[in-house]
Structure 1
Amino acid sequence: MQCYTRFVAIGDSQTEGVGDPDDSGGLRGWADRFADMLGGEAPEFRYANLAIRGRRAGQIRAEQLEPALAMQPDLTAVLAGLNDLIRPRFDREALLADLAALIEPFRAAGSTVVTFTFPDIGAIAPVVRPLAGRIRQLNADIREMAARYEAVLVDFEPVPVAAHRLLWAQDRLHLSPMGHEMVARAVAEALRVPGADGSWRQPLPPVRQRRGEQVFDELRWATVHMVPWLVRRARGISTGDRVTAKRPQLAPLRGKTEPLRRSVAG
Structure 2
Amino acid sequence: MSASDQLDGPFQKRFVAMGDSFTEGMADIDPSSPNGVRGWADRVAGQLMSNDSSWGYANLAVRGKKLEQVFDEQLDPAVGLQPTLVTIYAGGNDILRPTVNVDALMERYRWGVEKLMSTGARVVLFTGFDSGQAPLFKATRGRTAIYNEHVRKIAADFELDLVDFWHMRQFQDWRYWDVDRMHLGIAGHMLMAKEVLKVLGEKDEIGDPEVEDSPPVSLPERLRSELTWTRDYFYPWLKRRVTRTSSGDDMSPKYPRLTSRVW
Q: Shared fold by TM > 0.5?
A: yes
Q: How does 1:118-197 map to 2 (within 5 A)?
A: 118-123=128-133, 125-195=134-204
SS in 2 for 1:121: coil
Mapping 1:7-46, distance limit 5 Å: 7-24=15-32, 26-46=36-56
Structure 2 gaps of 5+ residues are 1-11
Whichever residue aligns with residue 253 of structure 2, its letter is A
Corresponding residue of 1:222: 230
1:261 corresponds in structure 2 to: none
Which residue matches 1:253? 261
- Measured after TM superposition, the shift of residue 225 of structure 1 is 1.1
Q: CA RMSD in A?
A: 2.4
Q: Could you say what secondary structure the match of 1:6 adopts?
A: strand
1:142-176 Cα offsets, whole Å, 9 max, x none, are 11111112211011212211222111111111110
Contact 2:122 2:160 in 1 (8 A): yes
CA distance in 2: counterparts of 1:86 and 1:111, whole angstroms:
30
Show the counterpart of 2:8. Answer: none
What secondary structure, in the 3-state scheme, does the structure 2 residue paired with 1:118 have?
coil
Kept in 2, the 8 Å contact 1:19–1:177? The answer is yes
Distance 1:254 1:14, change over 3 A: closer
TM-score normalised to the size of structure 1? 0.85
Question: How many angstroms apart in 1 are the aligned matches of 2:128 and 2:221?
Answer: 27
Following the alignment from structure 2 to structure 1, what is the Cα–Cα distance between the partners of residues 187 and 143? 26
**Which amino acid is the alignment partner of residue 73 of structure 1?**
P
| Correspondence for 1:98 | 108
Per-residue deviation at 1:77? 0.5
| CA shift for structure 1 position 48 | 0.3
Q: Assess if the C-alpha contact under 8 Å between 2:177 and 2:188 holds in 1.
A: yes
Matched-pair identity in %: 37
- Partner of 2:16, secondary structure, is strand
Match of 1:75 in 2: 85
1:172-205, Cα deviation, whole Å (9 max, x unpaired): 11110111111110000001102479x88x9996
Q: Which runs of 5+ in 1 are unaligned?
A: 256-266
- The answer to whether the Cα contact below 8 Å between 2:177 and 2:184 also exists between their aligned partners in 1 is yes
Q: Which amino acid aligns with 2:163?
A: V
- What TM-score do you get using the length of structure 2 for normalisation? 0.86
CA drift at 1:214: 4.5
What is the CA deviation profile of residues 77-131 of structure 1, one whole-angstrom value per residue up to 9, with x for unaligned ones? 00111100000011212320222123111222211111111222242x3132211
